[in-house]
Amino acid sequence: MMSEDHTTGNFVIDEEIRGWYDHYRSFCEFMADTGMESDFEPGMALEQIEGWEQENDTELPHQYKSWLMLTGGTRILDGELELYAPEIGGLDEEDDIVIIGSTGDGSEAGIRRADGTVYTICDGDIREYEDFDDFLTYRMAFLQDIAEDEIGEDWQDQFEGTLGALEE
């Protein structure tokens, strides 16, 4: 397997996020047999992301920028998780957050502009994550529960078998 250069100019795509991107794509391809649809849009150019940051006087976390460079928008398992290009929003103060997605449980995903904290909010309850990697880890647990409901308890064995076949 050839090694890939995951750099764009001076920006280096976070390898943890690249791993999650690849895992999410493989998982969604596996789950397509259940009829649940997923879509991964092409990545955004670094210049486009930096232009948005300048226009909105906001610095996005490196991991989220890495995700955007891999896919500018994602709709996973019929909307159980949607991640998209950043949008300015507000909680208590005007324009204090960046909205980055939504989840099937009704949560809104965002990033606080002041400190870059990734969080979800649902019915007023806020859950903070260590970083975007932690957010992706946590959301995958919910998606795995859906896989178990749709396919059965042995879904992981089937998924790993599918991955093995793809690598051969």
- In the chain, what are the domain boundaries? 10-159
pLDDT single digits (tens) 66-86: 999 999 999 999 999 999 999
Extract the tokens encoding 112: 């606080």
Q: Which of 21, 20, 118, 98 is nearest to 55 (CA)?
A: 98
- CATH, range 10-159: 3.40.1580.10
Section 10-26 average pLDDT: 94
Residue 101 DSSP one-character state: E
Q: Which of 69, 76, 80 is nearest to 42 (CA)?
A: 69
**pTM score:** 0.87
Work out the angle at residue 153's Cα, subtended by the Cα atoms of residues 138 and 121, and round it to the nearest 5 degrees.
25
pLDDT single digits (tens) 85-117: 999 875 555 558 899 999 988 899 999 988 999
Q: Which of 85, 100, 102 is nearest to 43 (CA)?
A: 85
pLDDT computed for residue 168 by the predictor: 42
User: How far apart, in whole angstroms, are the C-alpha atoms of residue 135 and residue 111?
Assistant: 11
* Residue 129 Ramachandran class (φ > 0 left, ψ -120 to 50 alpha, else beta): beta
Tokens 């647990």 correspond to: 141
Decide which of 123 and 78 is more confident: 78
- Is 138's pLDDT higher than 70? yes
